[in-house]
Amino acid sequence: MRRRRQLAAALAAALAALLVLASLSFSAPVFDDEDSPWPDTEAVKPNLSAVQEVVGELEEKVDLMELSASHYADWEACLHGVPISEYGDPDGLAGFGYDEVDGTGFGFKPALAIDRKSRPRHEDYLFLDFERGGDCRTAAPKPGGTAESASVRPSGRTGPAFVQGRTLRAPPGARHRGLPGTLSELEARVEFLKRAANRLEDSSERFDEWESCVSWVPVTEYGDPEGKFGYLFGAAPTSGLEYRPALAIDRSDWEDPEYEFLALVGGDRPGRTCQDEPGEAVD
Amino acid sequence: MRALTLALLCFSLLTGGLWLAQAGTAEDPPSAADRVEELQQELDSLTEDIEDLKEPVNEFDLFDECMYLIGVSELGRPKGTGYFFGAKRRPALALDIRGFGQPQFNFLAFPGEEPPSIECNEDAEQEFIDE
Protein backbone atom coordinates (compact mmCIF):
# COMPACT_ATOMS: atom_id res chain seq x y z
CA MET A 1 0.00 0.00 0.00
CA ARG A 2 2.77 2.39 0.96
CA ARG A 3 4.70 1.54 -2.19
CA ARG A 4 1.64 2.26 -4.28
CA ARG A 5 1.31 5.68 -2.70
CA GLN A 6 4.96 6.42 -3.30
CA LEU A 7 4.66 5.31 -6.91
CA ALA A 8 1.56 7.45 -7.42
CA ALA A 9 3.32 10.43 -5.85
CA ALA A 10 6.36 9.92 -8.08
CA LEU A 11 4.19 9.67 -11.16
CA ALA A 12 2.31 12.81 -10.19
CA ALA A 13 5.58 14.69 -9.66
CA ALA A 14 6.95 13.52 -13.01
CA LEU A 15 3.74 14.57 -14.74
CA ALA A 16 3.84 17.94 -13.04
CA ALA A 17 7.46 18.44 -14.09
CA LEU A 18 6.56 17.49 -17.65
CA LEU A 19 3.67 19.96 -17.65
CA VAL A 20 5.93 22.74 -16.33
CA LEU A 21 8.51 22.03 -19.02
CA ALA A 22 5.86 21.96 -21.74
CA SER A 23 4.33 25.24 -20.58
CA LEU A 24 7.76 26.87 -20.44
CA SER A 25 8.58 25.81 -24.00
CA PHE A 26 5.29 27.23 -25.26
CA SER A 27 5.45 30.51 -23.38
CA ALA A 28 9.07 31.39 -24.18
CA PRO A 29 9.58 33.36 -27.39
CA VAL A 30 10.85 31.10 -30.14
CA PHE A 31 13.76 32.30 -32.28
CA ASP A 32 14.21 30.18 -35.35
CA ASP A 33 17.46 31.88 -36.09
CA GLU A 34 20.07 31.75 -33.36
CA ASP A 35 21.77 34.76 -34.94
CA SER A 36 18.74 36.96 -34.46
CA PRO A 37 19.92 40.35 -33.24
CA TRP A 38 16.70 41.03 -31.36
CA PRO A 39 16.67 40.65 -27.57
CA ASP A 40 14.58 38.02 -25.85
CA THR A 41 12.21 40.54 -24.36
CA GLU A 42 9.33 42.70 -25.46
CA ALA A 43 10.56 45.75 -23.58
CA VAL A 44 10.91 48.71 -25.95
CA LYS A 45 14.25 50.09 -24.77
CA PRO A 46 16.50 47.06 -25.38
CA ASN A 47 14.74 46.37 -28.69
CA LEU A 48 15.23 49.96 -29.76
CA SER A 49 18.93 49.76 -28.90
CA ALA A 50 19.23 46.59 -30.97
CA VAL A 51 17.47 48.29 -33.89
CA GLN A 52 19.89 51.22 -33.64
CA GLU A 53 22.83 48.86 -33.67
CA VAL A 54 21.57 46.90 -36.69
CA VAL A 55 20.79 50.08 -38.62
CA GLY A 56 24.31 51.34 -37.92
CA GLU A 57 25.87 48.08 -39.11
CA LEU A 58 23.81 48.02 -42.29
CA GLU A 59 24.68 51.65 -42.99
CA GLU A 60 28.37 50.81 -42.76
CA LYS A 61 27.99 47.90 -45.18
CA VAL A 62 25.92 49.93 -47.61
CA ASP A 63 28.37 52.85 -47.39
CA LEU A 64 31.18 50.57 -48.60
CA MET A 65 29.04 49.03 -51.31
CA GLU A 66 27.98 52.45 -52.54
CA LEU A 67 31.63 53.44 -52.74
CA SER A 68 32.34 50.47 -55.03
CA ALA A 69 29.26 51.16 -57.14
CA SER A 70 30.10 54.84 -57.39
CA HIS A 71 33.66 54.02 -58.46
CA TYR A 72 32.35 51.69 -61.16
CA ALA A 73 29.92 54.35 -62.38
CA ASP A 74 32.78 56.87 -62.47
CA TRP A 75 35.03 54.78 -64.70
CA GLU A 76 32.17 53.48 -66.79
CA ALA A 77 31.38 57.07 -67.71
CA CYS A 78 34.97 57.42 -68.97
CA LEU A 79 34.73 54.55 -71.47
CA HIS A 80 34.06 54.94 -75.14
CA GLY A 81 34.19 52.44 -77.98
CA VAL A 82 36.76 52.50 -80.78
CA PRO A 83 35.85 50.49 -83.91
CA ILE A 84 38.70 48.12 -84.72
CA SER A 85 38.95 45.53 -87.47
CA GLU A 86 41.51 42.96 -88.41
CA TYR A 87 43.00 43.53 -91.86
CA GLY A 88 44.76 40.78 -93.71
CA ASP A 89 44.36 37.05 -93.96
CA PRO A 90 45.00 34.99 -90.80
CA ASP A 91 46.36 32.21 -93.04
CA GLY A 92 49.09 34.52 -94.28
CA LEU A 93 47.98 34.60 -97.90
CA ALA A 94 47.58 38.36 -97.95
CA GLY A 95 47.83 41.28 -95.59
CA PHE A 96 50.59 43.34 -94.04
CA GLY A 97 54.13 42.58 -95.09
CA TYR A 98 56.04 40.81 -92.29
CA ASP A 99 59.56 39.52 -91.98
CA GLU A 100 60.96 37.65 -88.98
CA VAL A 101 64.49 38.14 -90.42
CA ASP A 102 65.26 34.59 -89.37
CA GLY A 103 65.77 33.14 -92.81
CA THR A 104 62.14 32.10 -93.29
CA GLY A 105 61.66 35.01 -95.65
CA PHE A 106 59.06 37.66 -96.24
CA GLY A 107 55.39 36.81 -95.72
CA PHE A 108 52.02 38.29 -94.85
CA LYS A 109 50.39 38.75 -91.51
CA PRO A 110 47.14 40.37 -90.40
CA ALA A 111 47.10 43.33 -88.00
CA LEU A 112 44.56 45.42 -86.14
CA ALA A 113 43.67 48.91 -87.29
CA ILE A 114 41.01 51.50 -86.65
CA ASP A 115 37.99 50.77 -88.81
CA ARG A 116 36.91 54.05 -90.37
CA LYS A 117 34.89 52.54 -93.18
CA SER A 118 32.45 50.02 -91.73
CA ARG A 119 29.03 51.17 -90.66
CA PRO A 120 28.46 51.23 -86.87
CA ARG A 121 28.11 47.71 -85.45
CA HIS A 122 29.71 46.24 -88.57
CA GLU A 123 33.28 46.57 -87.30
CA ASP A 124 35.00 43.41 -86.03
CA TYR A 125 35.49 44.75 -82.52
CA LEU A 126 34.62 47.76 -80.45
CA PHE A 127 37.62 48.16 -78.14
CA LEU A 128 36.95 50.04 -74.92
CA ASP A 129 39.04 53.15 -74.53
CA PHE A 130 39.38 54.91 -71.20
CA GLU A 131 39.08 58.51 -72.23
CA ARG A 132 41.27 61.15 -70.68
CA GLY A 133 40.11 64.59 -69.75
CA GLY A 134 37.46 65.97 -67.47
CA ASP A 135 37.17 63.83 -64.39
CA CYS A 136 38.76 60.90 -66.19
CA ARG A 137 42.47 60.59 -66.04
CA THR A 138 45.27 58.11 -66.49
CA ALA A 139 48.87 58.68 -65.65
CA ALA A 140 51.29 58.72 -68.56
CA PRO A 141 52.61 55.20 -69.11
CA LYS A 142 55.96 54.78 -67.44
CA PRO A 143 58.91 53.75 -69.59
CA GLY A 144 59.32 50.00 -69.33
CA GLY A 145 55.94 49.67 -67.68
CA THR A 146 53.18 47.55 -69.07
CA ALA A 147 50.02 49.28 -68.13
CA GLU A 148 48.33 51.75 -65.85
CA SER A 149 45.27 51.20 -63.83
CA ALA A 150 42.31 53.42 -64.47
CA SER A 151 41.47 56.10 -62.01
CA VAL A 152 39.01 58.87 -61.76
CA ARG A 153 39.04 62.01 -59.72
CA PRO A 154 36.94 61.56 -56.62
CA SER A 155 34.30 63.87 -57.95
CA GLY A 156 31.67 63.21 -55.33
CA ARG A 157 29.15 62.94 -58.11
CA THR A 158 27.76 60.29 -60.45
CA GLY A 159 27.22 56.73 -59.38
CA PRO A 160 23.78 55.27 -59.81
CA ALA A 161 23.89 54.37 -56.17
CA PHE A 162 25.15 57.75 -55.07
CA VAL A 163 22.90 60.63 -54.25
CA GLN A 164 24.65 63.96 -54.16
CA GLY A 165 24.68 65.74 -50.89
CA ARG A 166 23.04 62.90 -49.03
CA THR A 167 24.48 60.50 -46.62
CA LEU A 168 23.18 57.40 -44.99
CA ARG A 169 23.97 58.85 -41.61
CA ALA A 170 21.29 60.78 -39.82
CA PRO A 171 22.21 64.40 -39.11
CA PRO A 172 23.51 64.85 -35.56
CA GLY A 173 20.68 67.21 -34.74
CA ALA A 174 18.18 64.46 -35.35
CA ARG A 175 19.45 62.49 -32.40
CA HIS A 176 18.37 62.75 -28.75
CA ARG A 177 14.78 63.59 -29.48
CA GLY A 178 13.19 61.21 -27.06
CA LEU A 179 11.45 57.98 -28.00
CA PRO A 180 9.14 59.31 -30.76
CA GLY A 181 11.97 61.31 -32.30
CA THR A 182 14.37 58.38 -32.15
CA LEU A 183 11.78 56.11 -33.75
CA SER A 184 11.07 58.61 -36.53
CA GLU A 185 14.79 59.01 -37.16
CA LEU A 186 15.29 55.24 -37.33
CA GLU A 187 12.32 54.84 -39.66
CA ALA A 188 13.81 57.46 -41.97
CA ARG A 189 17.22 55.77 -41.90
CA VAL A 190 15.68 52.39 -42.69
CA GLU A 191 13.74 53.97 -45.56
CA PHE A 192 16.95 55.48 -46.90
CA LEU A 193 18.73 52.13 -46.55
CA LYS A 194 15.97 50.48 -48.57
CA ARG A 195 16.37 53.03 -51.35
CA ALA A 196 20.16 52.61 -51.28
CA ALA A 197 19.77 48.82 -51.56
CA ASN A 198 17.47 49.30 -54.55
CA ARG A 199 19.98 51.60 -56.23
CA LEU A 200 22.76 49.09 -55.59
CA GLU A 201 20.67 46.34 -57.10
CA ASP A 202 20.00 48.44 -60.22
CA SER A 203 23.68 49.24 -60.45
CA SER A 204 24.78 45.61 -60.16
CA GLU A 205 22.21 44.55 -62.76
CA ARG A 206 23.55 47.18 -65.14
CA PHE A 207 27.13 46.02 -64.54
CA ASP A 208 26.11 42.41 -65.06
CA GLU A 209 24.41 43.31 -68.34
CA TRP A 210 27.52 45.18 -69.50
CA GLU A 211 29.99 42.53 -68.34
CA SER A 212 28.03 39.68 -69.90
CA CYS A 213 28.19 41.45 -73.26
CA VAL A 214 31.92 42.07 -73.19
CA SER A 215 34.33 39.57 -74.78
CA TRP A 216 38.02 38.98 -74.15
CA VAL A 217 40.01 39.36 -77.34
CA PRO A 218 43.47 37.71 -77.28
CA VAL A 219 45.96 40.22 -78.63
CA THR A 220 49.72 40.08 -79.00
CA GLU A 221 52.18 42.55 -80.40
CA TYR A 222 54.23 40.94 -83.18
CA GLY A 223 57.50 42.40 -84.33
CA ASP A 224 60.42 43.92 -82.50
CA PRO A 225 59.95 47.27 -80.76
CA GLU A 226 63.68 47.84 -81.41
CA GLY A 227 63.01 47.51 -85.15
CA LYS A 228 65.16 44.45 -85.88
CA PHE A 229 62.29 42.47 -87.41
CA GLY A 230 58.53 42.74 -87.81
CA TYR A 231 56.02 44.44 -90.06
CA LEU A 232 57.40 46.37 -93.01
CA PHE A 233 56.96 50.06 -92.49
CA GLY A 234 57.99 53.00 -94.59
CA ALA A 235 57.16 55.42 -97.35
CA ALA A 236 58.16 53.30 -100.33
CA PRO A 237 59.32 49.71 -100.82
CA THR A 238 62.70 50.80 -102.00
CA SER A 239 63.60 53.57 -99.58
CA GLY A 240 63.50 54.14 -95.83
CA LEU A 241 62.31 50.62 -95.09
CA GLU A 242 61.93 49.80 -91.40
CA TYR A 243 60.55 47.06 -89.24
CA ARG A 244 57.83 47.99 -86.78
CA PRO A 245 55.68 46.02 -84.36
CA ALA A 246 51.90 45.94 -84.63
CA LEU A 247 49.01 44.37 -82.78
CA ALA A 248 47.23 41.32 -84.11
CA ILE A 249 44.73 38.76 -82.87
CA ASP A 250 46.68 35.96 -81.21
CA ARG A 251 45.57 32.62 -82.64
CA SER A 252 48.51 30.71 -81.29
CA ASP A 253 47.64 27.34 -79.79
CA TRP A 254 50.83 26.94 -77.80
CA GLU A 255 51.38 30.33 -76.20
CA ASP A 256 49.19 32.66 -74.18
CA PRO A 257 48.39 36.03 -75.70
CA GLU A 258 50.11 39.05 -74.20
CA TYR A 259 46.79 40.68 -73.35
CA GLU A 260 43.10 40.03 -73.39
CA PHE A 261 41.54 43.22 -74.66
CA LEU A 262 37.99 43.90 -73.66
CA ALA A 263 35.70 44.47 -76.61
CA LEU A 264 32.19 44.28 -77.87
CA VAL A 265 32.34 41.82 -80.69
CA GLY A 266 30.40 41.68 -83.95
CA GLY A 267 28.00 44.51 -83.18
CA ASP A 268 27.22 43.38 -79.63
CA ARG A 269 25.86 46.14 -77.47
CA PRO A 270 24.84 45.86 -73.81
CA GLY A 271 21.10 46.12 -73.48
CA ARG A 272 20.56 45.21 -77.13
CA THR A 273 22.16 42.08 -78.52
CA CYS A 274 24.91 39.95 -77.08
CA GLN A 275 25.86 37.05 -79.28
CA ASP A 276 28.54 35.58 -77.09
CA GLU A 277 28.40 34.01 -73.71
CA PRO A 278 29.52 36.20 -70.80
CA GLY A 279 33.24 36.93 -70.88
CA GLU A 280 33.80 34.58 -73.78
CA ALA A 281 37.18 34.67 -75.40
CA VAL A 282 37.40 35.29 -79.11
CA ASP A 283 39.72 33.05 -81.06
CA MET B 1 -47.61 56.77 -37.84
CA ARG B 2 -46.46 53.33 -38.86
CA ALA B 3 -44.51 54.81 -41.73
CA LEU B 4 -42.85 57.33 -39.42
CA THR B 5 -41.85 54.59 -37.03
CA LEU B 6 -40.46 52.59 -39.91
CA ALA B 7 -38.51 55.59 -41.20
CA LEU B 8 -37.08 56.32 -37.74
CA LEU B 9 -36.09 52.70 -37.42
CA CYS B 10 -34.36 52.74 -40.80
CA PHE B 11 -32.59 56.03 -39.98
CA SER B 12 -31.35 54.75 -36.65
CA LEU B 13 -30.20 51.52 -38.25
CA LEU B 14 -28.35 53.40 -41.00
CA THR B 15 -26.63 55.90 -38.74
CA GLY B 16 -25.79 53.19 -36.27
CA GLY B 17 -24.31 51.11 -39.06
CA LEU B 18 -22.28 54.03 -40.33
CA TRP B 19 -20.97 54.79 -36.87
CA LEU B 20 -20.02 51.17 -36.36
CA ALA B 21 -18.31 51.06 -39.77
CA GLN B 22 -16.35 54.22 -38.93
CA ALA B 23 -15.37 52.86 -35.57
CA GLY B 24 -14.21 49.66 -37.22
CA THR B 25 -11.92 51.36 -39.76
CA ALA B 26 -10.44 54.06 -37.58
CA GLU B 27 -7.06 52.96 -36.29
CA ASP B 28 -5.21 54.09 -33.26
CA PRO B 29 -1.71 55.36 -33.98
CA PRO B 30 0.72 52.45 -33.60
CA SER B 31 2.36 52.17 -30.24
CA ALA B 32 6.12 52.51 -29.81
CA ALA B 33 6.36 48.74 -29.37
CA ASP B 34 4.49 48.19 -32.65
CA ARG B 35 6.77 50.61 -34.48
CA VAL B 36 9.87 48.93 -33.09
CA GLU B 37 8.52 45.53 -34.11
CA GLU B 38 7.79 46.78 -37.62
CA LEU B 39 11.31 48.21 -37.85
CA GLN B 40 12.73 44.88 -36.78
CA GLN B 41 10.78 43.06 -39.48
CA GLU B 42 11.90 45.55 -42.11
CA LEU B 43 15.50 45.23 -40.93
CA ASP B 44 15.34 41.44 -41.09
CA SER B 45 14.31 41.63 -44.72
CA LEU B 46 16.77 44.45 -45.48
CA THR B 47 19.63 42.49 -43.90
CA GLU B 48 18.90 39.62 -46.28
CA ASP B 49 18.70 41.96 -49.28
CA ILE B 50 22.01 43.61 -48.41
CA GLU B 51 23.63 40.25 -47.81
CA ASP B 52 22.48 39.17 -51.28
CA LEU B 53 24.06 42.30 -52.76
CA LYS B 54 27.51 41.49 -51.38
CA GLU B 55 28.52 39.17 -54.20
CA PRO B 56 27.35 41.28 -57.14
CA VAL B 57 28.92 44.39 -55.63
CA ASN B 58 32.19 42.48 -55.09
CA GLU B 59 32.23 42.00 -58.85
CA PHE B 60 32.79 45.76 -59.25
CA ASP B 61 35.84 45.58 -57.02
CA LEU B 62 37.19 42.45 -58.68
CA PHE B 63 36.84 44.01 -62.10
CA ASP B 64 38.42 47.22 -60.88
CA GLU B 65 41.36 45.36 -59.32
CA CYS B 66 42.03 43.15 -62.34
CA MET B 67 41.56 45.68 -65.09
CA TYR B 68 44.53 47.26 -66.86
CA LEU B 69 44.83 50.05 -69.32
CA ILE B 70 47.12 49.39 -72.24
CA GLY B 71 48.48 52.35 -74.13
CA VAL B 72 47.95 51.89 -77.86
CA SER B 73 48.52 54.28 -80.76
CA GLU B 74 47.88 54.15 -84.46
CA LEU B 75 51.10 54.27 -86.48
CA GLY B 76 51.29 55.28 -90.12
CA ARG B 77 48.94 56.98 -92.52
CA PRO B 78 46.84 55.77 -95.42
CA LYS B 79 49.09 57.67 -97.77
CA GLY B 80 52.77 58.24 -97.27
CA THR B 81 54.53 56.47 -94.48
CA GLY B 82 52.72 53.41 -93.17
CA TYR B 83 52.65 49.65 -92.91
CA PHE B 84 52.99 47.81 -96.19
CA PHE B 85 49.65 46.33 -97.15
CA GLY B 86 49.99 44.97 -100.68
CA ALA B 87 50.82 47.88 -102.88
CA LYS B 88 49.32 50.37 -100.43
CA ARG B 89 50.33 51.81 -97.07
CA ARG B 90 47.99 51.39 -94.18
CA PRO B 91 48.01 52.52 -90.58
CA ALA B 92 47.87 49.84 -87.89
CA LEU B 93 47.82 49.71 -84.11
CA ALA B 94 50.90 49.19 -81.96
CA LEU B 95 51.54 49.28 -78.23
CA ASP B 96 52.48 52.71 -76.96
CA ILE B 97 53.74 52.01 -73.46
CA ARG B 98 57.41 52.78 -73.78
CA GLY B 99 57.64 56.46 -74.50
CA PHE B 100 57.01 59.49 -72.36
CA GLY B 101 54.12 60.80 -74.44
CA GLN B 102 50.47 60.03 -74.06
CA PRO B 103 49.18 57.14 -76.14
CA GLN B 104 46.27 57.75 -78.45
CA PHE B 105 44.13 55.19 -76.67
CA ASN B 106 44.06 53.46 -73.31
CA PHE B 107 42.32 50.19 -73.99
CA LEU B 108 40.81 48.09 -71.25
CA ALA B 109 42.60 44.79 -70.97
CA PHE B 110 43.43 41.94 -68.67
CA PRO B 111 46.66 39.98 -68.41
CA GLY B 112 46.68 37.24 -71.00
CA GLU B 113 47.86 34.21 -69.01
CA GLU B 114 44.70 33.10 -67.28
CA PRO B 115 41.06 34.04 -67.21
CA PRO B 116 41.18 37.32 -65.30
CA SER B 117 38.90 36.48 -62.44
CA ILE B 118 40.85 33.34 -61.58
CA GLU B 119 44.22 35.06 -61.82
CA CYS B 120 43.29 38.06 -59.71
CA ASN B 121 41.50 35.95 -57.13
CA GLU B 122 44.39 33.54 -56.84
CA ASP B 123 46.88 36.33 -56.30
CA ALA B 124 44.73 37.99 -53.69
CA GLU B 125 44.13 34.71 -51.88
CA GLN B 126 47.80 33.79 -51.95
CA GLU B 127 48.83 37.08 -50.39
CA PHE B 128 46.26 36.61 -47.70
CA ILE B 129 47.43 33.07 -46.89
CA ASP B 130 51.09 34.12 -46.82
CA GLU B 131 50.38 36.65 -44.13
- Among B25, B54, B30, B49, CA closest to A187: B30
> Cα–Cα distance between A261 and A256 in angstroms, integer?
13
Cβ pair B110, A132 in contact under 8 A: no
pLDDT of res. A144: 34
> Cα–Cα distance between B120 and A207 in angstroms, integer?
19
- Among A210, A269, A185, CA closest to A77: A210
Range with the poorest average pLDDT among A111-115, A198-202, A240-244: A240-244
pLDDT of res. A165: 35
The model's pLDDT over A44-74, given as tens digits with 9 standing for 90+, comes to 999 999 999 999 999 999 999 999 999 888 8
The pLDDT confidence band at residue A241, using thresholds 50, 70 and 90, is: confident
Q: What is the DSSP letter of A102?
A: S
| Neighbouring C-beta atoms of residue A150, cutoff 10 Å | 20
- The pTM (predicted TM-score) of the whole model is 0.71
**A262/B108 touch (CB, cutoff 8 Å), yes or no:** yes
Whether A77 and chain B come into contact, CB under 8 Å, resolves to: no
pLDDT of res. A191: 97
Helix ranges (DSSP H) in A28-155: 44-76
Q: Which residues of B touch A221 (CB under 8 A)?
A: 94-95
The model's pLDDT over A200-220, given as tens digits with 9 standing for 90+, comes to 999 999 898 888 899 999 999
pLDDT of res. A274: 78
The share of chain A scoring above pLDDT 70, in percent, equals 69
pLDDT of res. A85: 96
| Interval A263-267 mean pLDDT | 87
pLDDT of res. A221: 96
The pLDDT confidence band at residue B66, using thresholds 50, 70 and 90, is: confident
**B36/A51 touch (CB, cutoff 8 Å), yes or no:** yes
Residues 136-195 of A with CB under 8 A from B: 138, 140-141, 143-150, 179-180, 183, 186-187, 190, 193-194
pLDDT of res. A11: 58
Which of A261, A264, A265, A282 to probe by mutation at the B interface, max B CB count within 10 Å? Answer: A261
Most confident of the following: A133-137, A228-232, B87-91: A228-232
| Interval B32-47 mean pLDDT | 96
Q: ipTM score of the complex? A: 0.72
Q: Which residues of B touch A140 (CB under 8 A)?
A: 100-102
The model's pLDDT over A91-113, given as tens digits with 9 standing for 90+, comes to 989 999 999 999 888 999 999 99
